[in-house]
């Protein structure tokens, strides 16, 4: 499994594979403690986040946002150029073809699991157990994460004993 950990200090993300106990942020040098569970270490399931120990995750399609944006801009400009050259047929043809490719690409995309609290991302062959994004849950968990960071306490799930 490959885990993208987001630095709590500067928000820069970097990739880690199991199972170093700590990783240093390449941006600001902040040391990020990692607690790997067996399931995460063996790429079986994402049960607890190694970075924040949270147990709440959601899945989303693993989009490459930059690539997607570049494609949209290129296709948009090309069809505008064809429209400008009064080649409407070509312009709409390109737009239509792009919409189709986009649809197929989206259907083929893999799911990535994301930690609600710290936005760590998990990629691998593991079984996806999380559900889709829930805004209400995200807001309350991010608040809790921010509060716990401010007070220096780790995030514990309900029912787990304090350290």
User: What are the angstrom distances between the C-alpha of 124 and each of 84, 95, 107?
Assistant: 46, 33, 18
* 98-137: contacts with Zn ion (CB under 5 A): 115, 117-118, 120
Provide the minimum distance between the beta carbon of 63 and Zn ion in the complex, in angstroms, as a whole number: 20
Tell which one of 1, 3, 5, 51 touches Zn ion (CB under 5 A): 51
Q: Which stretch binds Zn ion (CB under 5 A): 41-49, 62-70, 72-80, 90-98?
A: 41-49
Residues 129-150: b if buried by 16+ CB within 10 A, e if exposed: ebeeeeeeebeebeeebeebbe
Beta bridge mates, 2: 123
Site for Zn ion contains 5 (CB under 5 A):
no
Q: CA 59, CA 12: separation in Å to the nearest integer? A: 21
Site for Zn ion contains 6 (CB under 5 A):
no
Closest C-alpha to 128, from 51, 64, 58: 58
Sketch the per residue contact string, 9 through 38, with Zn ion: x for CB under 5 A, - otherwise: xx-x------------x-xx-x--------
Neighbours of 54 (CB within 10 A): 21
Of 107 and 135, nearer to Zn ion (C-beta) is 135
List residues binding Zn ion (CB under 5 A). 7, 9-10, 12, 25, 27-28, 30, 49, 51-52, 54, 115, 117-118, 120
């Amino acid at each position: 499994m490959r885990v993208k950990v987001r630095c709590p200090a500067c928000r820069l993300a970097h990739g880690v594979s199991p199972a170093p106990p700590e990783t240093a942020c390449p941006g600001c040098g902040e040391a990020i403690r990692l607690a790997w569970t067996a399931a995460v270490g063996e790429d079986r399931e994402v049960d607890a986040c190694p970075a924040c120990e949270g147990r709440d995750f959601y899945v989303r399609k693993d989009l490459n946002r930059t690539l997607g944006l570049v494609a949209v801009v290129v296709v948009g400009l090309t069809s505008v150029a064809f429209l400008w050259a009064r080649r409407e047929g070509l312009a709409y043809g390109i737009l239509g073809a792009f919409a189709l490719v986009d649809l197929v690409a989206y259907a083929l995309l893999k799911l990535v699991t994301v930690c609600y609290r710290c936005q760590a991302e998990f990629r691998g062959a593991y079984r996806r157990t999380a559900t889709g994004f829930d805004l209400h849950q995200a807001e309350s968990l991010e608040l809790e994460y921010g509060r716990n960071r401010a007070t220096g306490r780790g995030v514990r799930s309900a029912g787990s004993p304090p350290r």
